Amino acid sequence: MLDFQFNDEQRMVRDLAHQFAEKEIKPVAEHYDTSGEYPWPLIRQGLQLGLMNVNIPEQYGGPGLDVLGECIVNEELAWGCSGIQTAMMLNSLASWPIILAGNEAQKSKYLGDWLMDNGKMAAYGLTEPGAGSDVAGIKTTAIRKNGAYVLNGSKTWITNAPIADCFVIFAKTDPSARHRGMSAFVVEKDWPGVSTGKPIHKLGQHAAWTGEVFLQDVEVPVENRLGEEGQGFMIAMKVFDRSRPTVSAAAVGVAQRALDESVRYANERHAFGKPISANQGISFMVADMAMNVEAARLLVYKSAWLVDRGENNVKAAAFAKAFAADVAMKTTTDAVQVFGGYGYSAEYPVEKLMRDAKIYQIYEGTSQIQRVIIGRELFR
């Protein structure tokens, strides 16, 4: 039977996340967007409130939310500011490989001691200068030598890299093989040979710093390999099954905010002696926003629900990601239109929403790659 209602726990989590977004994030969103500062005070508050590390299981001190629960949190936080939400969410992304493939010692150290007890930060290092969509084309190597792996290579576009204490790094243990040659490792920032670049200046989501990670003859103990040698690609794909719904949920949050701002402004702004909402040209545009936001949300929930039940969600997650990203872009662009000239001004919130929305068509698999996946699933 289908049930479109949240249970008590989901309602509680949504209300907590929404209050935090409304009271703490929204008032400072513009500040972090324009100053380019890293949102440390919000990270610390989020940690205290249980709005960070939400996927870390209870046995390691986390709230242990399922993927649907993480989607609910992400939508609300992104409604406040998707840059701040992305900075807060990255620990979850980097935790997934450890949750899915880590052993007890790795979980206890990195999930428990590092992220939960000591508030350390983690980042997820898959993309390289020469390989983004083509995940199996990465060139970073991990060669086994004298009881350790020696890592060489570089990663780029890694969210939270400039501030992270540790990284989950994907590298080739068999450089001659494509996806079967990939393995995953936890690499600590302080180890010799690890360095990071400055935050990259980008279009939107300024509060979520993004940068490079350089690995030069980094000795990684064998006990820091996640899973078996050659399982890296499979781990990355399993992470996508979980991260695509949660990232899509954030896109829904951005679109919902654009809708809320549009409804409010269209009622307040008068032209030709009446509110602009009285014009069908505006009300139809806003009606389409509302319809699309709701449809995107339902796709997100379904993709999360499937993976939480242990079912295959590859196509559902691609639907959610492609659709929610396109909805975020269209809704925020139309919100700028509803605001007219004021929409184009940084004094009003929709200009930032439009800049922030674009990234959803790019990271966690571009909109084209989601359609490649959908096509592959259909014509299999």
Ligand X SMILES: Cc1cc2nc3c(=O)[nH]c(=O)nc-3n(C[C@H](O)[C@H](O)[C@H](O)COP(=O)(O)OP(=O)(O)OC[C@H]3O[C@@H](n4cnc5c(N)ncnc54)[C@H](O)[C@@H]3O)c2cc1C
How large is the C-alpha radius of gyration of the chain?
A: 21
DSSP 124: E
Q: Does 122 bind ligand X (CB under 6 A)?
A: no
The verdict on 232 binding ligand X (CB under 6 A) reads: no
For residues 103 and 133, which CB has a smaller minimum distance to ligand X in the complex?
Answer: 133
**Minimum gap (Å) between residue 210 Cβ and ligand X:** 5
Q: Please tell me the total number of residues recorded for the chain in this structure.
A: 380
> Among residue numbers 41 through 80, which ones bind ligand X (CB under 6 A)?
none
Q: Which residue from 132, 199, 211, 253 is in contact with ligand X, where contact means CB under 6 A?
A: 132
Among 127, 140, 231, 313, interactor with ligand X by CB under 6 A: 127
| Choice from 159, 248, 256, 332 touching ligand X (CB under 6 A) | 159
Catalytic one among 70, 229, 364, 377?
Answer: 364
Is 70 among the residues known to form the active site? no
Question: Cα dist. 375→257, 324, 378 in Å?
Answer: 31, 18, 5
Residue nearest to ligand X (CB): 132
- Please identify which residue in the block is written with the tokens 């084309």: 137
- Strand, helix or coil for residue 14: helix
Near ligand X by CB under 6 A: residue from 81, 158, 335, 357: 158
With CB under 6 A as the contact rule, the residue among 120, 178, 202, 302 that binds ligand X is: 202
Count of beta carbons in the 10 Å neighbourhood of residue 278: 14
Please say whether the beta carbons of 208 and 159 come within 8 A: yes
Burial class (CB in 10 A: 0-12, 13-18, 19+), 227: middle
- Which residue in the set 100, 143, 263, 362 belongs to the binding site for ligand X (CB under 6 A)? 362
For ligand X, the closer of residues 10 and 367 by Cβ is 367
Q: Least Å distance between CB 104 and ligand X?
A: 26
The minimum distance between CB 338 and ligand X, in angstroms, equals: 27
Hey, which residues does 219 pair with through a beta bridge? Answer: 150
126 sits near ligand X (criterion: CB under 6 A): yes
Minimum CB separation from ligand X for residue 125, in Å? Answer: 6
Which tokens belong to 260?
A: 């809320």
For ligand X, the closer CB: 184 or 266: 184
Among 157, 167, 240, 301, binds ligand X (CB under 6 A): 157
Which candidate, 220, 222, 225, places its Cα nearest to that of 235?
225
CA–CA gap between residue 368 and residue 102 (Å, rounded): 31
Parallel/antiparallel/unpaired status of strands 182-188 and 166-172: antiparallel
Chain CA centroid to CA 373, Å: 19
Going 277 to 278 to 282 to 286, the CA torsion angle's sign is positive
The SS3 of residue 211 is strand
Nearer to ligand X by Cβ, of 13 and 169: the residue is: 169
Is residue 133 near ligand X by the rule CB under 6 A?
yes
Q: Which of 102, 125, 162, 199 binds ligand X (CB under 6 A)?
A: 125
Residue 366 touches ligand X, criterion: CB under 6 A: yes
Least distance CB 304 / ligand X (angstroms): 20
State residue 210 phi and psi, 5-degree precision: -130, 140
Number of residues that bind ligand X (CB under 6 A): 19
How is residue 183 written in tokens? 């393995």
Residues of 26-47 as b/e, b for ≥16 C-beta within 10 angstroms?
bebbeebbeeeebbeebbebbb
Told to check if 360 binds ligand X by CB under 6 A, we report no
Nearest distance from residue 153's CB to ligand X, in Å? 13
* Cα end-to-end distance, the chain, whole Å: 29
Phi, psi for 125 (deg, rounded to 5): -110, 90
Binding of residue 363 to ligand X (CB under 6 A): yes
Stretch that binds ligand X, among 70-78, 123-131, 216-224, 324-332 (CB under 6 A): 123-131
Minimum CB separation from ligand X for residue 184, in Å?
12
Judged by CB under 6 A, the residue of 221, 270, 368, 376 near ligand X is 368
With CB under 6 A as the contact rule, the residue among 43, 166, 335, 369 that binds ligand X is 369
200/186 Cα distance (integer angstroms): 23
Please identify every residue annotated as catalytic: 364
Q: Which residues bind ligand X (CB under 6 A)?
A: 124-127, 132-133, 157-159, 202, 210, 359, 362-363, 365-366, 368-369, 372
